Structure 1
């Protein structure tokens, strides 16, 4: 192809890293005990309640009561939080969700909303004996309109399935996540998930045209729209995007989906300094412009740990930093010319020392796995503390050496990676035993450090159960008070996802 190209042909990814089944799973303490949470003023489930739920739901397999069936709904994916829910309800329609919530609100039965369970903040599992409302059976794609680019679907649709169906119409989802094989679009919206395409297509507040949501009292709020321009009063849909199920249960969504690109290039570059990272990113924005889809930072510790775990080798030499760039467009020759000019300039200026580029789908997939499998590699330890932070680009990486200095000698790895294109750093700290010493050295230091740089303690993962006490580092007292007022208006009995997002106790 071009003279700056080194074809990435030797890399062989033998197997995907297995999920947590291959980890040494430590005993998970009950969330209520571990975090000292007091149970709210909620009723307990009775046989009469079960009888009512059986009347609401049409088939027996929509209710789970046996401990062996409900166990997985009481644990988060990363095995850090565990609840005591004894009832799992799996509605198939908005009407069933409405009837369930109406009844629970009258009875004051707390409800925990369960999506794909891929969140990292414990937001989708119960703390005590909340009713677990699983959205997995609400997985119907209502329509795909290739003319307007409109997708309408139910909240339980898995992201990868939506991507597959859209591809048949020459379209893509504006959202792409490493967990797309299991995460559900309703959960993505509830947490305002970001992902690797945010730089190109923006966040979900811009992509979502409309929502259907059920309030705590069972009232269905139809905020659906087929248009990007609908300036009729308050944009209430934005209240529910990122509210993590505390204000209402999302049941249906209308999204604007872009046309799928016809050309794609992925570039992995090695850089010696963080300043070179910044200069390369700036140059990529200038020279690649509208075809630049993603810009990901990977540090040396992340890449080395991942390739070791994948039992492969790095496609380029070792460097303190790597940038993974993706371009997508519709004119192959024009795109390649832009990429060629960018690479030549970066090499001539000494910003980049080594790199590879490919446009072959199989090799693109392998390159992306070097970034996407970093979490799986670090999660293979007995514990992994993960933080997603928004930080100003000049100090974007500074928290990683600071944490390494504090706890590096007590853990197996401290690494930083993430979406430098939108200022989102992922910080992972993993090891064998999560001691109290490690916890105290890391928290609240991570959040204090972030606050000192005027960053955000949650860039895309949400607040969930684990971060309500730290929201004060990013939001003012007045802002948190207003959130509480909204919660009390929309859910006066507090039955929706209690103990999540807002400070509890």
Structure 2
């Protein structure tokens, strides 16, 4: 029996035994019947033989029952591909050899990092070969003087954070999924995180990178200088490109000194007007030490305390805010924060609250915010919307969608990065419900478009949002994005079916 026929038998066996997977994760090709597989080659014994000739045995995974299911399904268990092969290169040169061969053989590739995305961008749609960067996890160098670190794309964010802390440096990125997400995936989706208010997004923190193009050519843009005005800044094209222009294999990051003083407060508020006033005064009074300003609504906190049995330190309120400051002088920082709180309490903006007295309490307070996604997943299927909206309208979308949906969902809640206008709208139901989905979409995107917001704030477009690109980008912008894609990947082998809506014959 050939290797590929053995794979087919394995797939049938997997489909027979994995009843739980079938029940909760429908094949993407079934859930989205209008999607059509591109004219790509089907995997053959000859193809498999080539990959086995350039990679070690543990770098080539073909056992779908024991190895591949985790690569085919997103962490939210909302989409599922049917890849029969996962390749795990260790070097940029191995990535180059894989892509050069796939380009010539017309084999579609799905680059994958930690697979923590929310829009189906990191898993196959059909049978694309998964290119996992998980073995490329080395921290190559850390320069404490300049604050520049060079790291392979597969390095898990939490590992990189630990290494940087040894040199008294802080990552310019912090995510709830830092225990599993990878820096290459963060760059590919231009991840924002909870401290974007302080450090900005990755377009400003990435000094350079190495990427492999679809034809296998290695593009070395691994600059480590703060200033480089030599021609076009090509690295920016790969930040947020979701693996459609090339595969990022190395990243040079500008890191900041690790703050020696961190203050965390958690507060209850009675109205969204109070929320806005707290943000306004926090920016004015805390200035440069304000590192994070997060909003949590009552429904979100109720979910995380109920599902995960976490305890809130204060009583029930319609809204909660988590403020964090980070600086170099504990006394100075505490004085500024206490002065702010005195103003907010005296004018009735904040009703109740608490300040963390040590790092353990600070971690517990952050857990109420960072574990909301985990708690929501306990309720069933989650419809997640990561959007940017004007700060004054930050919560209006949640109110409007609640009225529209009525009793259809289990829960409709909102939380997120208030400081930069990034709202996480979440709706839960016991299982995937197309009727509910049709009530949500395209209403959410219409609403965001009318407010001149963004349909994707920090997780990309992937598969799920590709048809709504036009709500945030002009036809001219989309046209030139397609032209750039065609230039870098003329055969469309890199992460096909993602970002761009299908083109009609008249386009």
What TM-score does the superposition give when structure 2 sets the normalisation length? 0.94
Q: Which residue of 2 aligns with 1:156?
A: 154
Structure 1 window deviating more from structure 2 (300-309 vs 461-470): it is 300-309
> Equivalent of 1:427, from 422, 425, 428?
425
Q: How far apart in 1 are the matches of 2:82 and 2:371?
A: 32
Q: Any idea what SS the aligned residue of 1:410 has?
A: coil
Query: Please, which of 435, 438, 446 is the counterpart of residue 436 of structure 2?
Result: 438
Superposition pairs of residues 280-319 of structure 1, within 5 angstroms? 280-319=278-317
> Aligned partners of 1:160 and 1:408: how far apart in 2?
40
SS in 2 for 1:409: coil
Partner of 2:129: 131
Equivalent in the alignment of 1:275: 273
Distance 1:116 1:444 in 2: 29
C-alpha deviation, 1:56, in angstroms = 1.6
Does residue 67 (structure 1) correspond to residue 80 (structure 2)? The answer is no
- Residue 32 of structure 1 pairs with residue 32 of structure 2: no
Alignment equivalent of 2:78, drawn from 69, 77, 80? 80
User: Quick one: distance in 2 between partners of 1:282 and 1:25?
Assistant: 49
Distance 1:404 1:246 in 2: 35
User: In the aligned structure 1, how far is the partner of 2:72 from the partner of 2:432?
Assistant: 21
By how many angstroms is 1:25 displaced?
8.1
In structure 1, the residue matched to 2:165 is 167
2:365 matched to which residue of 1?
367
Q: Deviations over 1:117-149 (max 9, x none)?
A: 000001111111111101001111110000000
Aligned equivalents of 2:203, 2:317: Cα separation in 1 = 37
Q: State the alpha-carbon separation in 2 of the partners of residues 181 and 223 from structure 1.
A: 27
Asked whether the 8 Å contact 1:26–1:382 carries over to 2, the reply is no
Count of aligned positions: 483
Partner Cα distance (1:434, 1:90) in 2: 32
Q: Which residue of 1 aligns with 2:263?
A: 265
8 A contact 1:408–1:414 mirrored in 2: no
- Per-residue Cα deviation, 1:173-209 (whole angstroms, up to 9, x for no partner): 1000000000000000000000001000000000000
Question: How many Å separate the matches in 1 of 2:213 and 2:259?
Answer: 38
SS of the residue corresponding to residue 52 of structure 2 reads helix
3-state DSSP class of the match of 2:142? Answer: strand
For 1:89-104, what aligned pairs fall within 5 Å after superposition? Answer: 89-104=87-102
Please say if residues 214 and 245 of structure 2, whose CA atoms lie closer than 8 Å, have aligned partners that are also in contact: yes
Match of 2:388 among 387, 390, 408: 390
1:327 aligned partner: 325
Distance (Å, rounded) in 2 between the aligned partners of 1:504 and 1:99: 30
**Stretches of structure 2 lacking an aligned partner (at least 5 in a row):** 1-19
Q: Distance in 1 between matches of 2:371 and 2:444?
A: 23
2:266 partner SS: strand
Structure 1 CA distance, aligned partners of 2:167 and 2:434?
52
Question: Superposition RMSD on alpha carbons, in Å?
Answer: 1.3
TM-score normalised per structure 1: 0.94
Q: Please say which of residues 135-144 and 307-316 is displaced more in the overlay.
A: 307-316
Match of 2:17 in 1: none
Give CA deviations for 1:292-314 in whole Å, capped at 9, x if unaligned: 00000011111111111222432
In the TM superposition, what whole-angstrom CA distance separates every residue of 1:405-424 from its partner, at most 9, and x where no partner exists? 12241111110000000000
Residues 312 and 210 of structure 1, relative CA distance in 2, 3 Å threshold: closer
* Offset from partner CA, 1:54-76 (integer Å, 9 cap, x none): 1221x111001111211211111
